[in-house]
């Protein structure tokens, strides 16, 4: 029997499930930081929702902890790397709320189309406003879906039943996968230019933050109506309010906001707007599923059995020779996605040198985890990464080569015209990730949190063009390497910067004569 500390409200079915398994279920709601630290000693499991912050300090104060369970999808309040370093498993319930979230998006869509909340408010206030709140039908209208993950796909199925035409933008979904769903894939500008309704189903990352902002809304089809029941911050709320006030956008329905709880927004004063206080997962069924799923994962973890929804499980199964390369493999996955600007398919990964003699399947999982880090609305784990690859239509082929002329071990990832290779240098705790090739240009730079990759014509003055652009944006260059192509008259610059290069700087660089491409590679897409 183990002690399970539960610090937030959990469905009774979940509590009963853990108790029936023979464990002591210690429910202590409303603990502050000091109270949490005081309650953790002796607890083998910690079950939370979104309010409890599981920091490195909290983990250090829980010497007996085996597993942390988040009864929900997001893991923003759990320091997963710190938990992994301490050997603490982290699990979540990624499938608990997808149906509820999809249905709530449809509820917002219908409410906005037919002005249901506005008409209700008028009627209960004694006003019969039948002509004022004339709405529009969904049938025959075009729904633009921004993000075609599991929730986006469920919304598409439901919208199809209403007779809507479906288009979508998701660089991490193959055209074949979209075709099976009966959806046409288009670029972002075309999506907003053709859609009568736009529904957002994206994770919030540095790449998606503010994605639906002033510039994109200016390209919208007049009268576009916008739904966001995914993540706050993907949609620029002030820009949306301005677009509605100007008449460019016909209305909006939001369940999530940049800062929550949100009780004051420029959108609240607009009668074309429908809002709810983050109710996407607030159904009895979703709460029951979350409680039951997390209870099941906790019981399995405490029994030492396989845990399907473990976010950091796979690191335990790696050999001593392979384990140090997990972080590098994940970084290479994120990098190849950035270079390809979306789903890189097919992907070829080659393990050279000593790694060729090891079981590298877990490294391929880490690669997949990195590839989908920026494009999944659910946290990506070693366990769900293969399912995401299958759903999104990603093909990965791995091979081994025992020879590696310059390195003890080397991992090379290729997709189409893009490629990247990395290795480790040093030993033990001093091992460091290094990037040694990008797009067939030889480089040798330490991997960093923020990296800028620029490919350009091999001619004088190009370094100055890039340096000037970064300087004007008040970005500091921490290190730099230049590599030449062995077959073409091009060169490649790799720079590390003190902070991520803003999207507008990337756009400026790409517009300069002699610059062929510019990409930022981020170590944390959080």
Which residues are annotated as catalytic?
231, 260, 278
Do 282 and 255 contact (CB within 8 A), yes or no? no
Residue 177 tokens, joined: 């996968």
CA distance 382 to 371: 12
Tokens matching residue 298: 């906790």
* Pair 500, 334: CB distance under 8 Å: no
144 strand-pairing partners: 167, 198
Measured in whole angstroms, the distance separating CA 351 from the mean position of its chain's CA atoms is 27
Helix axes 12-20, 284-303, angle to 10 degrees: 20
**Exposed e or buried b for every residue in 262-275, given b needs 16+ CB within 10 A?**
beebebeebebbbb
Contacts of 511 (CB under 8 A, 6+ apart): none
What's the CA gap between 243 and 224, in Å, rounded? 10
What is the spatial distance between Cα 6 and Cα 315, in angstroms, rounded to a whole number? Answer: 26
Measured distance CA(262)–CA(361) in Å, rounded: 45
Measure the CA–CA gap between 173 and 393, rounded to whole angstroms.
7
């Amino acid at each position: 029997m183990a002690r399970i500390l539960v610090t937030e409200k959990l469905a009774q079915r979940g509590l009963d499930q853990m108790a029936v398994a023979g464990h002591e279920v210690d429910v202590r709601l409303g603990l502050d930081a000091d109270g949490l630290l005081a309650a953790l000693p002796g607890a083998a499991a910690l079950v939370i929702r979104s309010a409890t912050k599981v920091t490195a300090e909290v983990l250090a104060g829980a010497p007996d902890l085996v597993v942390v369970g988040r009864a929900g999808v997001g893991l923003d309040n759990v320091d997963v790397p710190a938990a992994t370093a301490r050997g603490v498993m982290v699990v979540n319930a990624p499938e608990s709320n997808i149906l509820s979230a999809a249905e709530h998006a449809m509820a917002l869509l219908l409410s906005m189309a037919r002005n249901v909340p506005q008409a209700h408010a008028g009627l209960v206030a004694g006003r019969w406003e039948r002509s004022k709140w004339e709405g529009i039908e969904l049938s025959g209208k075009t729904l633009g879906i921004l993000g075609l993950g599991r929730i986006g796909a469920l919304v598409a199925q439901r919208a199809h039943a209403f007779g809507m035409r479906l288009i979508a933008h998701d660089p991490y979904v193959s055209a074949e996968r979209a075709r099976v769903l009966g959806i046409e894939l288009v670029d972002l500008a075309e999506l907003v230019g053709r859609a009568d309704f736009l529904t957002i189903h994206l994770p919030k990352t540095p790449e998606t933050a503010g994605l639906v902002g002033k510039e994109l809304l200016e390209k919208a089809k007049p009268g576009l109506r916008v739904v966001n029941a995914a993540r706050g911050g993907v949609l620029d709320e002030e820009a949306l309010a301005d677009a509605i006030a100007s008449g460019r956008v016909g209305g909006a329905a939001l369940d999530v906001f940049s800062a929550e709880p949100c009780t004051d927004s420029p959108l609240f004063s607009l009668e074309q707007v429908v809002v709810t206080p983050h109710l996407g997962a607030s159904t009895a069924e979703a709460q029951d599923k979350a409680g039951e799923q997390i209870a099941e994962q906790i019981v399995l973890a405490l029994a030492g059995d396989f845990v399907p929804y473990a976010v950091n499980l796979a690191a335990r199964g790696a050999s001593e020779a392979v384990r140090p390369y997990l972080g590098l493999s994940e970084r290479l996955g994120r990098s190849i996605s950035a270079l390809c600007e979306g789903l890189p398919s097919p992907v070829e990964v080659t393990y050279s040198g000593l790694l060729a003699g090891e079981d590298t399947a877990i490294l391929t999982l880490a690669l997949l985890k990195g590839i989908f880090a920026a494009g999944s609305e659910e946290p990506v784990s070693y366990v769900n990464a293969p399912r995401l690859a299958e759903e999104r239509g990603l093909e990965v082929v791995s091979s081994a080569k025992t020879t590696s002329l310059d390195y003890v071990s080397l991992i090379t990832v290729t997709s189409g015209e893009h490629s990247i290779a990395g290795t480790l240098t040093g030993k033990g705790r001093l091992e460091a990730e290094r990037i040694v090739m990008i797009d067939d240009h030889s480089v040798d730079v330490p991997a960093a949190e923020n990296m800028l990759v620029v490919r350009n014509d091999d001619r004088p003055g190009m370094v100055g063009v890039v340096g000037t652009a970064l300087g004007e944006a008040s970005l500091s260059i921490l290190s730099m390497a230049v590599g030449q192509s062995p077959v073409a008259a091009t060169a490649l610059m790799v720079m590390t910067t003190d902070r991520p290069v803003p999207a507008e700087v990337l756009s400026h660089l790409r517009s300069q004569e002699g610059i062929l491409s510019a990409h930022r590679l981020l170590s944390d897409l959080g």
